[in-house]
Structure 1
């Protein structure tokens, strides 16, 4: 896999993983259905998916060649990027207007 393909793969996986906690009611996609799922569960899923995406990035970087050293700035920027990628799911789950059901007599 080329370096450019690896970067795009990590970005696509990050976009999907960042929105998964907000788009379903199951715990980690396979667990029991919680309705409504608490915000704390969504945050925990977001952290776990971010770590899984980070691990994928490390694995792909290692398969291309030697890993570059990263300091705290890299991880802070990565966390901010992951939260930014999660914004569509957050907006859809919490900020979207829901229409009141109409009553038919």
Structure 2
């Protein structure tokens, strides 16, 4: 696997956890004193999935020929993205804080 491939995997691992480790929208925009809802976190995670996917397509096109992908590719990569989000989900919702 090339360095660009590992870069995308690392970026996906970080991007999948961003919605859970902070109370800002996309880790930049403050949303006020209220806590982010789970639906907002899911929407943010989906948006980050597509953003990182576009970066991956750009790197693939820059490296050579870009391959066409079917629905199976998107189903598998989104499932991997959800699995990558497990540490952040665990930290946000399953760890008890005192």
Q: Which TM-score bucket, shorter chain as reference?
A: over 0.9
Count residues in correspondence: 97
Q: Note the residue ranges of structure 2 that are not aligned, 5 or more in a row.
A: none
Deviations 1:18-73 (A, max 9, x none): 00000000112221244311111101110111001100110000001111111100
* Residue 91 (structure 2) aligns with: 92
CA RMSD of aligned residues (A): 1.1
Question: TM-score with structure 2 length normalisation?
Answer: 0.93
Question: TM-score with structure 1 length normalisation?
Answer: 0.87
Name which one, 1 or 2, has greater alpha-carbon Rg. 1
Q: Note the residue ranges of structure 1 that are not aligned, 5 or more in a row.
A: 100-105
- Select the structure that is richer in strand: 2
After the TM superposition, list the runs of 4 or more consecutive aligned residues in structure 1 that deviate by more than 3 angstroms: none
* Residue 60 (structure 2) aligns with: 61
CA distance in 2, matches of 1:28, 1:81: 20
